[in-house]
Amino acid sequence: MNDLRPISLAGVPDSRPLLIAGPCSAETPEQLLATARGLAAHGVRIFRAGLWKPRTKPGGFEGVGAEGLPWMRRVREQTGMYLATEVASREHVAAALGAGVDLLWIGARTSANPFAVQEIADALAGCDVPVLVKNPVSPDLELWIGAIERLYNAGLRRIAAVHRGFTSCDPSIYRNHPHWALPIELRRRLPALQLLCDPSHIGGRSELIAPLSQQAMDLGFDGLIVEAHRTPAEAWSDSRQQITPDELARIVASLVLRDGAGESEDLALFRSRIDRLDGELIGMLARRMEVSRSIARYKRAHNIPVLQSDRYEEMLAVRASEGERLGMHRRFIELVLQAIHEESIRQQFEVLERDGE
């Protein structure tokens, strides 16, 4: 997919961050227009609003639907902004394109469903409309790439990915855990693909939007899609995470864009240190595996089972505390040790299965 193109829209500067903003949901014509005017006054050129709202549970506000399309058109007439909305079915695509919506996005619940994505891709075949693909709710990179591929195969080239965080059962300050490693890997796999961050849905709280936006810029994201509302406290959906147009302008103005050209010698030095340490880590792991294999031979000779969970639990607790004392997250140490343990068990089984070693 090397010939993917940026979603560039005439008259919208292609400097970072590409900014898309607007309310979670279109609620009333007045709310839409007042919010859009506030954003346009700060130079925002692309306006988002959800018309069809996929809700986790029935009974919540499910959006105004096609009734909001003329309200969106009014926003364009009054402010000159480009319009963006979410589509989840072929009917949504037909209605949005029919009304002249400039940019579509596929939401996280939809991109998790290949049938729905294929239906949307089929409905879009032959169009050159830009489409944003939000990551699926689960941290599944292949599913995310699969959704992008379906659009690509339908002939679309102006595609961008939106990182909006992932459902996680681990407690955290986020509504949806960022798992930054996933969008970073997506960038490595599809370097031509524009990458935007949705700090509103990751954070779930207005005060997290500024730090998350900065992190996204530091990680080289191309743009941001942010939920903004004229009166966030009164929003009919996602009210905790919405900010006013003025707050958004302040956040964007405060972003530090580290676009330093060229690589300094200092940076090259740091990188070579990291490379050396990584090499040492791999060498150390190999030595550790060699000890595991010796243990397996001993266990085989003495008829001891491979897994002794007491010993493992104890080792995990001691190391996690040690790691914490050295400034690392407990959870991080646990994950590393779990991965090492898994490989160690695999190697022990290999020894047991091989007779006469």
Task: Report the interhelical angle of 309-325 vs 330-353 (nearest 10°).
Answer: 140
Q: Closest approach of Cβ 156 to Mn ion, in Å? A: 24
Which 41-60 residues touch ligand PEP, going by CB under 6 A? 50
Q: Closest approach of Cβ 63 to ligand PEP, in Å? A: 10
* Tokens matching residue 175: 């509504």
Among 24, 32, 193, 196, binds ligand PEP (CB under 6 A): 24
Specify the residue, 189 or 240, whose C-beta has the smaller distance to Mn ion: 240
CB burial readout 111-135, b (16+ within 10 A) else e: bbeeebbbbbbebbeeeeebbbbbb
Q: Are 215 and 10 in contact (CB under 8 A)?
A: no
* Tokens matching residue 75: 């926003």
Answer with the entry of Mn ion, ligand PEP, none that 134 interacts with (C-beta below 5 to 8 A by kind).
Answer: ligand PEP
Task: Return the DSSP state at 99.
Answer: T
Specify the residue, 102 or 238, whose C-beta has the smaller distance to Mn ion: 238
Instruction: Please work out the total of residues on this chain that contact ligand PEP, with binding judged by CB under 6 A.
Output: 7
To which H or E segment does residue 105 belong?
Answer: strand 103-106
Per-residue binding string, Mn ion, 8-27, x by CB under 5 A, is: ----------------x---
Q: What radius of gyration do the chain's Cα atoms show?
A: 25
Answer with the entry of Mn ion, ligand PEP, none that 150 interacts with (C-beta below 5 to 8 A by kind).
Answer: none
Task: Return the DSSP state at 46.
Answer: E
Nearest to 348 by CA among 309, 283, 295: 295
Answer with the entry of ligand PEP, Mn ion, none that 108 interacts with (C-beta below 5 to 8 A by kind).
Answer: ligand PEP
Peptide bond into 17 cis (omega under 30): yes
Per-residue binding string, Mn ion, 237-266, x by CB under 5 A, is: -x----------------------------
The closest residue (CB) to ligand PEP is: 107
Q: DSSP 3-state assignment of 44?
A: coil
Tell me if 179 contacts ligand PEP by CB under 6 A: no
Among 45, 92, 158, 164, binds ligand PEP (CB under 6 A): 164
CA–CA gap between residue 37 and residue 45 (Å, rounded): 11
Q: Closest approach of Cβ 53 to ligand PEP, in Å? A: 6
Specify the residue, 175 or 296, whose C-beta has the smaller distance to ligand PEP: 175
CB burial readout 176-208, b (16+ within 10 A) else e: bbbbbebbeebbeebeebbbbbbbbbbbbebeb
Among 201, 206, 320, 351, binds ligand PEP (CB under 6 A): 201
Q: Which ranges of 5-140 does DSSP label H, i.e. alpha helix?
A: 29-41, 69-79, 90-98, 108-111, 114-124
Tell me if 134 contacts ligand PEP by CB under 6 A: yes
Specify the residue, 24 or 93, whose C-beta has the smaller distance to Mn ion: 24
Residues that bind Mn ion (CB under 5 A): 24, 238
Residues that bind ligand PEP (CB under 6 A): 24, 50, 107-108, 134, 164, 201
